[in-house]
Structure 1
């Protein structure tokens, strides 16, 4: 498994933990989380950037998810799916160094590993809609 995949998986676990505790700021939870999930410094730095970025942009991201995840209320969405979507939406919209197809493919693979049997299709559909809409808006 590549370092970026590992970082995304660890970031998902951190986001999941924050979501379960209703925490908005990852800072007070970072030391404890990283002590329980040790990874190499590069992997931790990338994962931490994903977590901080997703949390910082969460109000905007959640607004997009509510718009593009038709017939799904964010609070009723599976916690894993919701956090994969938040992390991937952050990368799609605020991390231009990562190709959009790579972001979506990584999110799908992580959903297959951590989500339900329906998660990967659901996540693919929502992220594809976000990407198409953002491209149309910026064109």
Structure 2
């Protein structure tokens, strides 16, 4: 999906960026950041391979967390956050996709968006709608940085605008 150097650099960028996420320790903030990045990868994998949610959660728990992702060890992930996100996104996909679709240009459908970009938008929309305990600035910033790791500036700006609109719709 992406160059391993980019994965490592996005984790470093996200952990250095403001605003901070509530009262999480630096270690827990990093684990949450890793969980977001891995959540995007899991959504991508599920869509491409057609793998079920529980199977992907088990695979990541057994083989990927604290291990090697794209040739790079990223550190511990917030596994509960990851699993909650993946399950909710799958369970609420119609609602989440409707939120994302509202932010697309006329005549664009969500299935026309790049698979990775769609995963980023779904994950961000999940947090904005279902995790109101997390500041919208944190959510938007983290997914914009993830978009920058996978794409160039244009896609990151699109993610920023779409998630900002979804935040207005949901909060």
Report the TM-score range of the alignment, normalised by the length of the smaller protein: 0.7 to 0.9
Q: Which residue, out of 112, 134, 137, partners 2:170?
A: 134
TM (norm. structure 2) is 0.71
Provide the residue aligned with 1:38 in structure 2. Answer: 65
* Bigger Cα Rg: 2
2:136 paired with 1:100: yes
RMSD: 1.9
* Larger RCO (CA under 8 A, 6+ residues apart): 2
Greater helix share, structure number = 1
Deviation string for 1:45-67 (max 9, x for gaps)?
A: 21111111211111101112112
- In structure 2, runs of 5+ residues without a counterpart are 1-10, 12-29, 67-74
Shift of 1:41: 7.0
In the other structure, the counterpart of 2:4 is: none
Q: Which runs of 5+ in 1 are unaligned?
A: none
SS, match of residue 103 in structure 1? helix
Deviation at 1:42, TM superposition (A): 5.7
Q: Could you report, residue by residue, the CA deviation over 1:66-86 in whole angstroms, capped at 9, with x for unpaired residues?
A: 121124321110111101110
Task: Give, in whole Å, the separation in 2 of the partners of 1:33 and 1:42.
Answer: 10
Q: How many residues align?
A: 134
